[in-house]
Amino acid sequence: MSEQFDQFVPDAQVALELGITAMTIWRWDNDPKIAPEMEALGWPPAMKAGQRKQSRKSRSRQQLEAFKANLMRRAIAERQSRKADLAAPITRRSRQRESLAP
Q: Is residue 3 included in any domain, yes or no?
A: no
17: part of which helix (H) or strand (E)? Answer: helix 11-18
Does the reported pTM lie above 0.85?
A: no
What are the 10-residue block averages of pLDDT along the chain, 102 residues in total?
Answer: 74 96 94 92 87 78 95 92 71 59 58
Residue 2 lies in a domain: no
Q: What's the pLDDT score for residue 5? A: 76
Total count of domains within the chain: 1
Residue 87 lies in a domain: yes
Please report the pLDDT score of residue 54 as a whole number. Answer: 62
Position 20 scores a pLDDT of 96
Domain range for 53: 8-100
Is residue 1 situated within a structural domain? no
Q: Are 24 and 17 in contact (CB under 8 A)?
A: no
Contact in structure between 93 and 87 (CB atoms under 8 Å): no
